[in-house]
Every structure is written in structure tokens, then in C-alpha cells.
Amino acid sequence: MAGSEQPPAAAGTDGGLGDRSLSQGLSVLVGLALCVTMLGLGCAVELGQLGQQLRRPVGVLLALLGQFVAMPLLAFLLALLFALDEVAAVAVLLCGCCPGGNLSNLMSVLVDGDMNLSIIMTASSTLLALFLMPLCLWVYSRHWINTALVQLLPLGAVSLTLGSTLLPIGLGVLVRYRHPRAADLLVKISLWSLLVTLVILFILTGTMLGPELMAHIPASVYAIAVLMPLAGYALGYGLATVFKMPPHCRRTVSLETGCQNVQLCTAILKLTFPPQLIGSMYMFPLLYALFQSAEAGLFVLAYKMYGRDSYKQEALGEEEDTDISYKKLKEEEVADTSYGTVTAEERGSVPMEPTQTAL
């Protein structure tokens, strides 16, 4: 009877994930995808922008509040609301504690957002994750502390995986500094590889897990995968509104908050957690990636259909304001230069004063 009580876990480790070579191949693919993503992130960072943000760190503050306050709390509340078990809860919490992903940079371009703000938020949240991601994971997992999975939570391995991302990020920053054109090409490659890799991982994982194990994923997990990015987008927009940011920056912060680095989450689940414990919940970050991309695509479509005209009007209004200010400034300059000047006619004319003859 004891052996029949855990068919999902057994299927997830032996029958579902295939033989050891397939599992190792999937681990290599996950690691390579993470390196390419982090390399592209580093190539998108310019040292001049970092200096500006250090002097006025609004982007860093928004990344801190969005990625390590709002999203972990949202993941924790959803796990409680849907009464998840410890395995599903850890997968959801891990995804909620991840930094922002590169998908938000691409989507920010499509909604006429602030690209500099998007890149700074993604880069700063990735660096902050070295310390804050394990801390948030430890704090919010206390609710399930009496379970074996949480007691064996590999926070050291999580920190090591996060630290390993510094090398490709630093290499990307160096490439940007030395070879800007090559950096632009690498950024495009990383964005396309992000989409292709997610599709490949989703297909391979679903195939190797098998339909039996996929059927054991609770409906509540699917519901959270749908609701969590949507709520993240709303929280990000509200956060930017509180900071009284312009509309294009609000759209940027919204996408940055809801889009998580699912490659990092997948790598941590695959490389640091025992497969016999995590089971089918390895699929959650891939489900999250699917729905965050679909919902971001709807966001972009709605903006293209209804919001772009207002953006053009805002840009036109700014240009008109600039023209009016420029004309006013020129008029003031003309008035200033004409005051107290002597024209050629005035210089040639001699004022004749009436004289009185003495009688």
C-alpha cells in the first residue's frame, strides 16, 4: 500500500522524466538558456545609465518594491487562498520571488514604454535577487515549515545558482562597453532564444512527464498561473501611479512587475530541488511563462488598438508646448536686444532743439 500511495512522484522521477540521460540533457538546456538570457541582459545595460540611476534611483526602488515586496506577497496570498500543498506552494513562491525577466523589455518596446527604465529595473532586480530572493523564500515558506520539503529547502543552492548568473551579466556589460554593435545583436538573439527555449522546454517537459503526471497538477495551480501575472501587471501599474509617473512609464513598470524570470525559476527547480520531491510542480514556471506571455500580448494588442492615439496626442502636445516656449523665448530675446539700442536712422539724425534769439 505504501508504494501505491505515491504514484505521481514515482512517475515524475522515473517513468515521466525518462532515463537519466534525458534528465541531464534537460538540465543542460535549462542552464544554457539561463546563461544566454543573463548575457543578453548584461548586453542591454549601459554604464552611463547605471550612473544616472545611482544618482536618482527611482528604477531601483520600483524594482525593489515590485519584485521583492508586491510579487512575493501576492504569491503567498494566492497559495493560502487556494490552499496549496507544500510542493505547489514552494513552486509558486519561488516564481513570485524571482526577479524580472527579459520578456518585459521586449513588451515595453511594443507599448512605447521607457526602455531605459525597463532595462534598469530588470538589471537591478536581478542583482538584488542575490540577497532578497533567498530571504523572501525563507520568510514566506514558514507557513509550511512542518513539511519535509520546506525543512530541506536548499537556500544555499538557490544562492549559488543566483551567484552563477553574475558571470554572463558581467560579460554582457563588457561586450556593451567594448563592442556596442555586437551587444545589440546579442540582445536580439537572447530575446528570440527566450521564446524558442520556453516552447522547447514546455514540449519536452510535458512529453517526458507524460499525461498521467500532468493530470495530477491541481486545477488551482493552473488558476494561479493565470491570475498571478495578471495581478502583477495591475500591481505594477498601481505602484507607478502612486509615484505619479507618466503613462508610458506606468506601462513599463506594469510589465516589469508581472513578467518574472521564468528561466531562473526553472533552473532553480531543476538544478537544486530533488526531483522526487518537486514532482510535476516543475511545470509551474513554464505555465506561468505561457500565461504571462499571452496576457502581455493582450496588453500590447489593447494598447495598439485603443491607447496609441492618446500616446501620439501626448507626444504632439509636448512638441507644441516646446514650440510655444521656444517662440516665447525668442520674442523675449528680441525684446531684450531692442531695448536701449540705437538704429542707423537715429544715429544719423541730430536732434534740433529750438533756440531763442535775444531781442
DSSP for 87-126, written as a single string: HHHHHHHHHHTS-B-THHHHHHHHTT--HHHHHHHHHHHH
The verdict on residue 5 lying in a domain is: no
What integer pLDDT is reported at residue 53 of this predicted model? 65
Cβ(188)–Cβ(317) under 8 Å?
A: no
The verdict on residue 107 lying in a domain is: yes
Report pLDDT digits (tens) over 126-172: 889 989 999 999 999 999 988 877 877 778 778 777 887 888 888 98
Per-residue pLDDT averaged across 218-236, rounded?
A: 94
Report pLDDT digits (tens) over 269-326: 877 777 777 777 778 888 898 899 889 989 989 998 887 656 555 555 544 444 444 4
Phi, psi dihedrals of residue 145, rounded to the nearest 5°:
-65, -25
What integer pLDDT is reported at residue 74 of this predicted model? 96
The verdict on residue 8 lying in a domain is: no
pLDDT higher at 328 or 158 = 158
The verdict on residue 26 lying in a domain is: no
| C-alpha distances out from residue 132 to 15, 63, 99, 195, 263, Å | 36, 12, 10, 27, 18
Say if residue 215's pLDDT is above 80: no
What integer pLDDT is reported at residue 58 of this predicted model? 84
The verdict on residue 139 lying in a domain is: yes
Compute the mean pLDDT over every residue in the chain, rounded to the nearest whole number. Answer: 77
What integer pLDDT is reported at residue 5 of this predicted model? 39
| C-alpha distances out from residue 218 to 144, 223, 247, Å | 18, 9, 38
What integer pLDDT is reported at residue 338 of this predicted model? 47
Per-residue pLDDT averaged across 252-268, rounded?
A: 89
Q: How many domains does the chain have?
A: 1
Cβ(210)–Cβ(15) under 8 Å?
A: yes
- 339: pLDDT confidence band, cut at 50, 70 and 90? very low
* Opening angle at CA 181, ends 104 and 56, nearest 5: 50
Say if residue 25's pLDDT is above 60: yes
The verdict on residue 24 lying in a domain is: no
DSSP state of 260: B
What integer pLDDT is reported at residue 290 of this predicted model? 85
What integer pLDDT is reported at residue 17 of this predicted model? 42
The verdict on residue 293 lying in a domain is: yes
The helix or strand, by DSSP H or E, that contains position 238, with its residue range, turns out to be helix 219-242
What integer pLDDT is reported at residue 317 of this predicted model? 52
The helix or strand, by DSSP H or E, that contains position 327, with its residue range, turns out to be helix 308-338
Per-residue pLDDT averaged across 252-258, rounded?
A: 93
The helix or strand, by DSSP H or E, that contains position 344, with its residue range, turns out to be helix 344-348
Per-residue pLDDT averaged across 14-35, rounded?
A: 65
Residue type, 286: L
Query: How far is the C-alpha of 356 from the C-alpha of 160, rounded, in Å?
Result: 105
- 45: pLDDT confidence band, cut at 50, 70 and 90? confident
What integer pLDDT is reported at residue 34 of this predicted model? 79
**Residue 92 bridge partners (DSSP):** none
Here the CATH number for the domain that contains residue 163 is 1.20.1530.20
Per-residue pLDDT averaged across 55-84, rounded?
A: 91
What integer pLDDT is reported at residue 255 of this predicted model? 93
What integer pLDDT is reported at residue 44 of this predicted model? 82
- 54: pLDDT confidence band, cut at 50, 70 and 90? low
- 186: pLDDT confidence band, cut at 50, 70 and 90? confident
Query: How far is the C-alpha of 120 from the C-alpha of 101, rounded, in Å?
Result: 12
Burial of 83 (0-12, 13-18, 19+ CB in 10 A): exposed
Query: How far is the C-alpha of 305 from the C-alpha of 248, rounded, in Å?
Result: 16
What integer pLDDT is reported at residue 326 of this predicted model? 41
Say if residue 351's pLDDT is above 70: no
Report pLDDT digits (tens) over 105-118: 878 888 988 888 88
**Residue 260 bridge partners (DSSP):** 100
Say if residue 4's pLDDT is above 80: no
Q: Domain range holding 306? A: 31-314
Query: The whole model's pTM is what?
Result: 0.74
pLDDT higher at 56 or 331 = 56
The shares of helix, strand and coil residues in the chain, as percent rounded to the nearest 5, are 85, 0, 15
The verdict on residue 61 lying in a domain is: yes
What integer pLDDT is reported at residue 242 of this predicted model? 93
